[in-house]
Amino acid sequence: MPELPETETIARALDELVRDSVITAVAIPRPNVLREHSADEFGRRLREVAITRCWRRAKCIVLDLSTGDRLVVTPRFTGGLFVARRDAAPEPPPSNPDYTCLALTLSDGRTLRYRDVRRLGTVALMDPARFAAWTAGIGPEPLDPDLTAPLFSGFIRVSRRAIKTVLMDQRRLAGVGNIYANESLWAARIAPTRAAARVTRAEAATLLAELQRLLAASIAVGGTTFRDYRDPLGNRGGFAAQLQVYGREGEPCPRCGVPLSGHHKLEGRATVWCRGCQR
């Protein structure tokens, strides 16, 4: 599932590609990805509307519209947003099978498509009040300069749940998923199963610094691609080559050489860590 670096990469590329474009037509071949509105209402509210900004909130891509509405796309496991460059050759016909769920024709003739093989992602059109309520239910952004080490320590150390589970709780911290939770905990030498309440203030400060370092490094190379994730131009992310523990169960720890352990006991997700140097 695309996490913060992947959705940040998508949002930045879209902002460059489609900002100030006007949506002239809306096609919804698979309306079951829509939330908040029917297909008819969704199409009516998007036609002849300009896209004024594209940005990210948590693991979602947000398109600000000239009407004040916002289009919130949550790609989940196999969803993706794709568009050609303005100077590119005409788009080829959609692939067969075509997994396009939503297609927005833009004023310059290009098409912004949301494709989703498994259709687990969602697309929601929110008015200002609905968007405010939605975003208020999400925790702070880990790359926000206002998120200081004392604040981070304060909201994670009140929980008795496993620290990895707390990191991935979007109500406490936005955008962190399985990949970067595993990696940041290894970098900070903290066992993923340790109760968050048992993480010291000093360890919390180290964990935040490592998490921010990893997220920034991943954004710099377009995120992590294993299989489905691509940016809006179809490019793969390059951070997989820098992963130290995720997907490496049984291999030697890069730091101490002890074989990396793994299980699926936390939230049913793959947890990989080193019993030798994570405590």
For 162-201, what is each residue's pLDDT tens digit? 999 999 999 999 999 999 999 999 999 999 999 999 999 9
109-118 pLDDT per residue, tens: 999 999 999 8
Q: How confident is the model at residue 98 (pLDDT cuts 50, 70, 90)?
A: confident
Structural domain including 153 reads 149-273
Are residues 25 and 78 both part of a single domain?
A: yes
Q: What average pLDDT is seen over the chain?
A: 95
267 within domain boundaries: yes
Spatial distance between the Cα atoms of 219 and 215, rounded to a whole number of angstroms: 6
Residues 86, 21: contact at Cβ < 8 Å? no
What would the 3-class secondary structure string for 233-262 be?
Answer: CCCCCEHHHHCCCCCCCCCECCCCCCECEE
Lowest mean pLDDT among 93-107, 185-199, 241-255: 93-107
Give the tokens for residue 118: 């498994």
Are residues 168 and 115 both part of a single domain?
A: no
Q: What pTM did the predictor assign?
A: 0.94
Spatial distance between the Cα atoms of 45 and 42, rounded to a whole number of angstroms: 5
Pairing of strands 22-27, 100-106: antiparallel
Q: Of 83, 110, 136, which one is at a domain's C-terminal end?
A: 136
Q: Which pLDDT belongs to residue 267?
A: 85
201 within domain boundaries: yes
Comparing CA positions, the residue from 170, 173, 167 lying closest to residue 142 is 173
Domain of 35, CATH number, reads: 3.20.190.10
Active site residues: 2-3, 59, 269
278 within domain boundaries: no
Q: Of 136, 163, 185, which one is at a domain's C-terminal end?
A: 136
204-229 pLDDT per residue, tens: 999 999 999 999 999 999 999 998 89
Give the tokens for residue 164: 């990895």
DSSP tag of 195: B
Domain of 183, CATH number, reads: 1.10.8.50
- Torsion angle (degrees, nearest 10) of CA 33, 35, 39, 41: -160
Query: How many separate domains does the chain show?
Result: 2
Give the tokens for residue 28: 């919804």
Q: Is the model's pLDDT at 104 over the cut of 60?
A: yes
Residues 18, 71: contact at Cβ < 8 Å? no
